[in-house]
Chain A
Amino acid sequence: MAERKISVIDKIKEASRSVTTGIEEKDIEHWVEIYIMGKAYKVPAALTIMQAMEYAGYRFTRSCGCRAGFCGACSTVYRKKGEYKLQTAMACQTRVEDGMFLVQVPFAPAEKPIYNLEKETLEPSVLLQYFPEIAKCVSCNTCTKACPQDLEVMDYVQAALRGDFEAVADGSFECIQCGLCAIRCPAEIVQYHLAQFARRMYGKYGTPLEKNAEKRVEEITSGKFDKEFNKIMSLSMDEFKDIYVEQQNTREVY
């Protein structure tokens, strides 16, 4: 039995190698050629841009974060051989393609206005007050085209101009704040900071605050559960385990 368990773990280890200790040449079927800041490298076709750059010998300090599409660290600008168009992507969420010319944008030097949410009111004009550049939006849609999350960025900038907090919040909710929109914008708008401000304003002032949690906070503060806590925390392990099993049997499933 013990032997079988060892082999299971070893099999899992072997099967996972491509993302733990790295892909090996003997396992690779298809190759592509990419250009990292102009230099050509032959890399496995099955990798993401990020994995391919590592395969080529790059070790990231910047331009690499969560490696799962949530953090916006690995903004990448590329052009494909023979094409004129610059495209944008997250390096961890995009597969390499033959003939990609790649460069990463490690930092967006964008200005963020300082505000105190407690002192603001949900006036439409407040968006323009902190982000006056939005009035210069020329509706070119470059921000939308640059967005690696495929958000309708220009639409929420227009919504901000109308003072529609809800539309900005909905339209920008999945923003990972990579900064590519701001870097490409000819009107120097910092879309992702604008969106952050609008979402917080909408969350704080535009939606009804929840009641149950508030009530529970009051109950806890008033010591409502203290006696019961003292009781269950002084039970023997066996008594406590029985309570646990009983509770699991009355669980809400979905």
Chain B
Amino acid sequence: MAKLEFVGGYPTYMRESIELVERTRSKRIGKLPPQMTSKEREEILNLCHPDYAPGGKRAIKIGPNRGDIAPNEVADLLEAYPLIEPNKIDLSKADYETDILIVGGGLAGTSAALLANDSGIPVEKILLANKLRHGDANSMMAQGGTQAADRPNDSPIIHYIDAMGGGHFTNKPDVVRALVEDAPVVIKWLEGLGALFDKDADGNFVELTGGGTSRRRMHACADYTGMEELRVLRDEFRNREIPVLEFYPAIELLTDEENKVVGALLWNMETEEYKIVKSKATILATGGFGRLHIRGFPTTNHYGATYDGAVLAYRVGAKLRDTDTVQYHPTGAAYPQQIIGLLLTEKLRTSGAQPVNKDGEEFVFPLEPRDVEASAFIRECYIRNKGVTTPTGMKGIWLDTPLIDIINGKGRIEKSFPAMVRMFKRFGVDMIKDPVLVFPTLHYQNGGVETDPQCSTNIEGLFVAGEVSGGVHGKNRLMGNSTLDCVVFGRRSGIYSAEYVKKGVKIGKPGLKHVEKYVKMLKDAGIKTERRAPILMPDYRGKAVLARMIDIF
């Protein structure tokens, strides 16, 4: 292979394509391709969306969702054996006894702890356990914003209709209503705790739209929205001195004689010792599954996003929903190699960046719902062959970022997207001057454990909040509804689990009967496999090293 010459971070052959983008730039301002009709949307999803492509999925063989379709990577974890042998776990003494155990320390888990405390549960009767550090979560990486219908020309009704349409009308209506009606409350709560949302000179929120969102209602903190929200909540959590265990993933839930959830089995990742937590209520807020790399896609997700919570809940008999859909974010980085799959916020497009092909032509309305937009990118690259191929063989389309400054005035990119500018600069690309190459990336677990507006499930004692839950986004989530989901239902899970505890719930002896039953189900279904779950972390070690590894201790 001839040695590539680079100019401004791009090899010369990619530069030639950038010149075509520059040539059409001024002509494209203010002229967007029309939005697709419902029929066109359906056609392109069927043609190109990974969820709709044949293969890659199968019916789940056991459990409450037996017969439902799920990606193979998900079905593999539901049809896997536990990490432990139940009869080898000493359950006679609890290491921790608490009222409310929260598993997961992102926006949902942290909000849950604060609201449980506000609802009258003393801090010493709350325990938050996290697999990695408190705050290690997809929440921390959310860039674009949080939706809340608070402007005079907007309303919770309009927000509701947008969310239902974005989810192709498959969302669970009662939880969507809770989502949109709590949204302004959540924004005020965060603001009152000191979160720095973008505001204009008069103190009004600066609000933008998102794909499939018909009004401007995205509240952002530059492109560090999730980080700002979570670090504020975490600081409040720390000030209240709520007990927390870090590097302590839950590896099973515990149930009593009536199959109520009464705590969890935690595992110290460093000493490998297990701990028994007995609790009156348990909130799962463990996040999503991006690190399963479904269908071989790169991901925007955190290292710990491995579907653990859903696996645990499924074993106690909790019902899942919408297991068949996965959200691919249209704009993951496709170049340079070091950042493949990382998120480029949708806010870039709401601020004027246009997707264009290798010839500098626009080919899609920039703000279709995510699944539709992603499908259009895949079609442009792999069916129409109008994508740009990188030196490592990735294909992508250009996101014409310099337009943002042209449309909104010089300096806008730097002000609104400091994280993006910094990331590209670190790897030699100037997104203020040059477009960036993007391709859909695995972003979000649309489905999950089914809940009601009180975050309760079909299993008593088990509450669920955030990405691990299912229903509120149906089969496709809109931008700005995930941070919102986490805080709304995080808060609600705190409130309603506190109510459940205060009612005076009687719990029995913590046990692992449900795990024994699950193993029997696996065996009865003829599932013979070495697979163990939850997997806790992905494994990216080099193949050459793994091939020569001797496992001594």
Interface residues of A (CB under 8 A from B): 2, 4-6, 8-25, 27, 29, 46-48, 51, 54-62, 64-71, 73, 93-95, 112, 114-117, 149-150, 169, 173-174, 176-177, 196-197, 199-204, 207-217, 220, 225, 228-229, 232-233, 237, 240-241, 243-245, 247-248, 250-254
Contacts and interface: CB of A to CB of B under 8 A. Distances in A.
B542 A57 contact: yes
Interface stretch (B90-98, B292-300, B448-456, B491-499): B292-300
B214 A248 contact: yes
Contacts, number: 297
Given A15-B394, A65-B136, A176 B227 contact: yes
Interface in B512-553: 537, 539-546, 549
B164 A240 contact: yes
Contact of B194 (A9, A200, A254): A200
A17 B54 CA distance: 20
Given A25-B544, A208-B203, 4 more contacts: A65-B140, A207-B203, A220-B181, A244-B169
B52 to A, nearest CB: 8
Contacts of A70: 140-141, 224, 226-227, 419
Contacts of A214: 188
Contacts of A250: 214
Given A196-B231, A213-B191, A220 B342 contact: no
Contact of A207 (B164, B187, B199, B215): B199
A203 B192 CA distance: 8
Contact of A203 (B195, B208, B422): B195
Given A12-B382, A229-B157, A203 B295 contact: no
A95 B338 contact: yes
Interface string B200-226: 001111001100111110000110101
Contact of A232 (B160, B169, B419): B160
Contact of A112 (B161, B214, B238): B238
A250 B35 CA distance: 12
Given A64-B303, A210-B191, A248-B214, A19 B148 contact: no
A105 to B, nearest CB: 13
B165 interface: yes
Of listed A15, A51, A237, residue having the most chain B CB within 10 A: A15
B133 A73 contact: yes
Contacts of A94: 426
B162 interface: yes
A252 B382 CA distance: 32
B427 interface: yes
A177 B231 contact: yes
A247 B338 contact: no
Contact of A254 (B228, B350, B418): B350
B241 to A, nearest CB: 7
Contact of B540 (A8, A10, A54, A115): A54
Contacts of B419: 69-70, 174
A95 B427 contact: yes
Contacts of A245: 38
B214 A225 contact: no
A73 B204 CA distance: 34
Contacts of A6: 53-55
B343 A57 contact: no
Nearest to A68: B342
Interface in B358-407: 367, 378, 382-383, 392-395, 407
Interface in B273-325: 293, 295-298, 300, 302-303
B435 interface: no
Interface in B411-426: 418-419, 422-423, 426
B500 interface: no
B173 interface: yes
B377 to A, nearest CB: 11
Interface string B64-90: 000000000000000000000000000
Nearest to B396: A15
Contacts of A54: 540-542
Contacts of A204: 191-194
A150 B426 CA distance: 11
Contacts of B157: 225, 228-229, 232
A207 B204 CA distance: 10
Contact of A251 (B177, B209, B239): B209
Nearest to B181: A220
Nearest to A215: B150
Given A116-B239, A213-B148, A232-B161, A8 B48 contact: yes
B382 A8 contact: yes
Contacts of A64: 303
B135 A71 contact: yes
A212 B235 contact: no
Contact of A16 (B155, B340, B537): B340
Contacts of B505: none
Contacts of B269: 61
Contacts of B409: none
A216 B184 CA distance: 7
B384 to A, nearest CB: 12
A7 B188 CA distance: 48
A37 B22 CA distance: 46
A4 B383 contact: yes
A114 B241 contact: yes
B337 A18 contact: yes
B392 to A, nearest CB: 6
B480 interface: no
A73 B549 CA distance: 27
Contacts of B543: 22, 24
B501 interface: no
B181 A209 contact: no
Interface in B131-153: 132-133, 135-136, 138, 140-141, 148-152
B378 A254 contact: no
A247 B159 CA distance: 10
13 contacts: A9-B53, A12-B439, A13-B295, A19-B298, A55-B542, A66-B141, A201-B194, A204-B191, A217-B188, A225-B156, A229-B156, A241-B169, A248-B212
Contacts of B141: 66, 68, 70-71
A99 B549 CA distance: 26
A252 B212 CA distance: 10
B184 A252 contact: no
B20 interface: no
B303 A67 contact: yes
Nearest to B143: A70
A226 B239 CA distance: 37
Interface string B334-361: 0001111111000000111000000000
- The 9 tightest CB contacts between A and B, nearest first, are A13-B296, A200-B194, A208-B203, A57-B545, A203-B194, A251-B214, A244-B165, A213-B150, A204-B194
Contact of B216 (A9, A55, A116, A252): A252
Nearest to A25: B544
A9 B55 contact: yes
A68 B222 CA distance: 16
Nearest to A243: B161
A210 B205 contact: yes
Contacts of B227: 70-71, 176
